[in-house]
Amino acid sequence: MDTAPGRDTRWLTPEEQRVWRAYLHAVTLLEDHLDRQLQRDADMPHVYYGLLVQLGEAPERRLRMTELAKQAKITRSRLSHAVSRLEKNGWVRREECPDDKRGQFAVLTDAGYEVLRRTAPGHVEAVRQAVFDRLSPEQQKSLGEIMQIVAEGLQPKEAGADLPWLR
């Protein structure tokens, strides 16, 4: 990977520093804001809410643990803890996988769906107020492209994704 930082570090220029600081500030403020909003209205952190959303969109409102972890960009360990908590709340239920006895499904319960239905509007509104209402259409487009690029760069590559002849 040749990352060994030698004598010649490519420091950030003043302009790059401004961009980076702005990014850090925006991201931490926004995550804080949304976390508080959801903690107040739905009694759970943002990440947990995201899990319910993913399940709500999945066929039959169920996903294998690993698949859910992948979609939510969290570790399986973290997901395991999270689901345990959501299970206690009655929002999610675990089910065994008939095909693979190691496997577990996380299933969104009716109560979980109800919570989602009740709290989604407030959450969307919060996102709108904090982000979309403040950006021009061009900026929104730009933001999407930029984030897409950054995410792709960090995504653990699919096997053979860049070696199509191996598939």
CA 112 to chain centre: 18
Token pair, residue 38, equals: 């959801």
67 in contact with its own copies (CB under 8 A): no
Distances (CA, A) of 11 to 18, 27, 37, 51, 166: 13, 22, 37, 38, 39
Distances (CA, A) of 166 to 54, 153, 158, 160: 31, 21, 12, 6
Query: What mask, x for binding DNA by CB under 7 A, covers residues 102 to 141?
Result: xxx-------------------------------------
CA 92 to chain centre: 18
CA dihedral over 159, 160, 166, 167, signed as positive or negative: positive
Q: What is the DSSP letter of 132?
A: G
98 in contact with its own copies (CB under 8 A): no
Q: Which of these ranges, 7-15, 94-102, 134-142, 146-154, lies near DNA under the rule CB under 7 A?
A: 94-102
32 in contact with its own copies (CB under 8 A): yes
47 in contact with DNA (CB under 7 A): yes
Member of 14, 59, 98, 153 binding its own copies (CB under 8 A): 153
Angstrom distance (rounded) from CA 48 to CA 69: 11
Least separation in angstroms between CB 142 and its own copies: 5
Q: Which of these ranges, 6-14, 63-71, 122-130, 131-139, lies near DNA under the rule CB under 7 A?
A: 63-71
53 binds, among DNA, its own copies, none (CB under 5 to 8 A by kind): none
Least separation in angstroms between CB 5 and its own copies: 4
Distances (CA, A) of 143 to 71, 75, 77, 151: 20, 26, 31, 12
Interacting residue ranges for its own copies, rule: CB under 8 A: 3, 5, 9-12, 15-16, 18-20, 22-33, 50, 73-74, 120-122, 124-132, 134-135, 139-151, 153-155
